[in-house]
Amino acid sequence: MTELQAEGLTCSRGGREVFRNVSFKVPAGAALIVTGRNGAGKSSLLRMIAGLVRIAAGRLSLNGGPAGTPIGEQAHYLSHQDAMKPSLTVAENLHFWMRFLGSRNDIRPALELLDLAPLADLPAAYLSAGQRRRLSVARIVAVSRPVWLLDEPTSTLDAPSQGRLSDIMRGHLAGGGIIVAAAHGPIGLERARELKLGAA
Amino acid sequence: MNPLAAILLRDMRLAVRVGGGAFMGALFFLIVITMTPFAVGPDLALLARIGPAILWIGALLASLLALDRLFATDHDDGSLDLLMMGEVPLELTVAAKALAHWLTTGLPLVVVAPLLGLMLNVDMHALGWLTLTLAAGTPALTFIGLIGAALSVALRRGGLLLAVLVLPLTVPVLIFGVAAANAAIAGPTPFGPAFTILCALSLASLVLGPIAATAALRHGLE
């Protein structure tokens, strides 16, 4: 059984300690909502799990995954930046990320799931913030990876899209996935555990 | 399509789309070479003598031109984070990006070089050899520049710093590139040794550039 486990994580960035001694366990099929003030280290924690920020102290492991593979290679990271090129079309952007992440599937199902199919041939420069967000979600839906790291996933999304995203996240959990999300408000997942950073 | 081909295709596509900057280097090269005879004056013998050096300097500056955007755009829109999280080793990802950069900015320089050589009164028979030295040497410029691009990735307006960091490292390439070209044109030294060293410099930078750039990226993002 897959399980994401953190013991005594400490993060320091630019010589300043952001958080210390953070521990949690997220088993397969469960979600962890990371909350806390601005600057409490929510995004840093997600980036640390993704392998993009060095672990100053502590241990982070994904049990039950393929041995020797960094967690970052088994995780999707949805940040505030959408990683989409304005001069490429919606389809080209998604196609690139799917091929880069090793998927040979068709891009259509993911586009249709996020209501982006009519925009497929539009350069991403013309998308609204919410549409760009949906395109990012299409990327993580299109390629299967067990751990999803979502940084305020519902921001910029309208109510119907938030509902759609909740369904997608529930589907991922039902399939044995793991979600770690940073959020200020509810993201539509019941029975998610909460980790409050900066409480001490 | 494998991940590296996907990167190569994406970066080449981005380079030729609006705001991509492919061929800007070649245009800059054209302008620099066109200005030179105006500065030097109508002395054909002098032009022919300094022609290879001017072409090499022009190619060097032109290949630096778009280099600062190599990682900066990917850094600004979050793509770099995802590239670092891929299963593909980052060294290969970086090398694929550099190759795409060379194909869209370095190769056009090589293609227009014979034409510009004519403007500098370089001997017709030597044009081929001169172009060959640029074809062998410009990959080294791109792959050495890669290190500077990776070091200055998180800096706003890192272009100037990049030039200061990279230009000294390209000195050996410049020396042996011009030496080989001059040997082909005027002699008396043979073309072979200088050209072989130039090729060796290129091959070494193809390997060392991505490794150093990857180390710089990993360090810089923490």
pLDDT tops 80 at residue A190: no
Residue B146 to chain A, least CA–CA distance (Å): 21
pLDDT digits (tens, 9 = 90+) for B135-150: 999 999 999 999 988 8
Q: Looking at the DSSP assignment, which residues form a beta bridge with residue A17? A: A12
In angstroms, what CA-CA distances link B9 with B41, B97, B153?
Answer: 44, 9, 22
Q: Reduced to 3 DSSP states, what percent helix, strand and coil does chain B have, rounded to the nearest 5?
A: 80, 0, 20
pLDDT tops 90 at residue B200: yes
| Local structure of B184: helix, strand or coil | helix
Band (B208; pLDDT cuts 50, 70, 90): very high
Q: Check residue A5 and give its pLDDT.
A: 85
Q: Check residue B211 and give its pLDDT.
A: 95
Pick the residue from chain B with its C-alpha nearest to A54: B222
Whether A129 and chain B come into contact, CB under 8 Å, resolves to no
* Strand order, beta sheet including A178-182: A75-78, A147-151, A178-182, A31-35, A193-196
pLDDT digits (tens, 9 = 90+) for B7-64: 999 988 888 887 667 788 888 889 988 888 888 888 888 888 888 889 999 999 888 8
pLDDT digits (tens, 9 = 90+) for A94-121: 889 988 888 888 888 888 888 888 888 8
Q: Check residue A103 and give its pLDDT.
A: 82
| Local structure of A28: helix, strand or coil | coil
Taking residues B194-219, report their average pLDDT: 92
Choose among A54, A83, A102: nearest Cβ to B82: A83
pLDDT tops 80 at residue A145: yes
Pick the residue from chain A with its C-alpha nearest to B10: A96
pLDDT digits (tens, 9 = 90+) for A77-91: 988 888 888 888 898
Predicted TM-score of the model (pTM): 0.89
pLDDT tops 70 at residue A196: yes
Q: Give A133's contacts in chain B (Cβ within 8 Å).
A: none
Q: Does the distance separating the beta carbons of A84 and B85 come in below 8 Å? A: no
Band (B221; pLDDT cuts 50, 70, 90): low
* Domain total of chain B: 1
Q: Give A97's contacts in chain B (Cβ within 8 Å).
A: 82
Q: Check residue A152 and give its pLDDT.
A: 87
Taking residues A164-188, report their average pLDDT: 85
Pick the residue from chain A with its C-alpha nearest to B9: A96
Q: Does the distance separating the beta carbons of B77 and A100 come in below 8 Å? A: no
Q: Check residue B202 and give its pLDDT.
A: 94
Taking residues A33-59, report their average pLDDT: 85
Q: Check residue B176 and give its pLDDT.
A: 92
Question: How far is it, in rounded angstroms, from Cα A49 to Cα A76?
Answer: 10
Question: Which residues fall within 8 angstroms of residue B167, CB to CB, at 6 or more apart?
Answer: B60, B64
Q: Domain of residue B136: give its range.
A: 3-220
Interface test with B, best of A100, A135, A139 (most B CBs within 10 A): A100
Question: How far is it, in rounded angstroms, from Cα B118 to Cα B124?
Answer: 7
Question: Which residues fall within 8 angstroms of residue A126, CB to CB, at 6 or more apart?
Answer: none
Dihedral pair phi/psi, residue A147, rounded to 5°: -105, 130
Parallel/antiparallel/unpaired status of strands A75-78 and A3-13 = unpaired
Pick the residue from chain A with its C-alpha nearest to B78: A83
Peptide bond preceding B168: is omega within 30 degrees of 0, i.e. cis? Answer: no
Q: Does the distance separating the beta carbons of A92 and B82 come in below 8 Å? A: no
Residue B7 burial (CB count, 10 A): 24
Band (B196; pLDDT cuts 50, 70, 90): very high
Residue B147 burial (CB count, 10 A): 24
Band (B69; pLDDT cuts 50, 70, 90): confident
Query: What ipTM was assigned to the predicted interfaces of this complex?
Result: 0.86
- The 8-class DSSP code of residue B78 comes to T
Rg (CA), chain B: 18
DSSP string covering B120-176: TT--HHHHHHHHHHHHHHHHHHHHHHHHHHHHTTTSTTTHHHHHHHHHHHTHHHHHH
Parallel/antiparallel/unpaired status of strands A57-63 and A3-13 = antiparallel
Q: Check residue A199 and give its pLDDT.
A: 55
Question: How far is it, in rounded angstroms, from Cα B198 to Cα B52?
Answer: 15
Of chain A residues 32-91, which have a CB less than 8 A from chain B?
Answer: 47, 50-54, 72-73, 75, 77, 79-85, 87-88
* Domain total of chain A: 1
Q: Check residue A79 and give its pLDDT.
A: 87
Whether B16 and chain A come into contact, CB under 8 Å, resolves to no
Q: Check residue B222 and give its pLDDT.
A: 63
Pick the residue from chain A with its C-alpha nearest to B87: A73
Dihedral pair phi/psi, residue A9, rounded to 5°: -70, 135
| Chain center to CA of B132 | 14
Q: Check residue B68 and give its pLDDT.
A: 81
Q: Give A96's contacts in chain B (Cβ within 8 Å).
A: 6-7, 9-10
Burial of A98 (0-12, 13-18, 19+ CB in 10 A): buried
Question: How far is it, in rounded angstroms, from Cα A192 to Cα A61?
Answer: 20
Q: Does the distance separating the beta carbons of B77 and A82 come in below 8 Å? A: yes
pLDDT tops 90 at residue B94: yes
Torsion angle of the four alpha carbons B122, B127, B133, B137, in this order, in degrees rounded to the nearest 10: 80
Q: Domain of residue A184: give its range.
A: 3-196
Q: Give B6's contacts in chain A (Cβ within 8 Å).
A: 96, 99-100
Q: What spatial distance separates the first Cα and last Cα of chain B, rounded to whole Å? A: 31
CATH number at residue A162: 3.40.50.300
Q: Check residue B174 and give its pLDDT.
A: 92
Q: Check residue A23 and give its pLDDT.
A: 87
Taking residues A166-181, report their average pLDDT: 88
Question: Which residues fall within 8 angstroms of residue A105, CB to CB, at 6 or more apart?
Answer: A98, A142, A143
| Local structure of A194: helix, strand or coil | strand
Residue B41 to chain A, least CA–CA distance (Å): 44
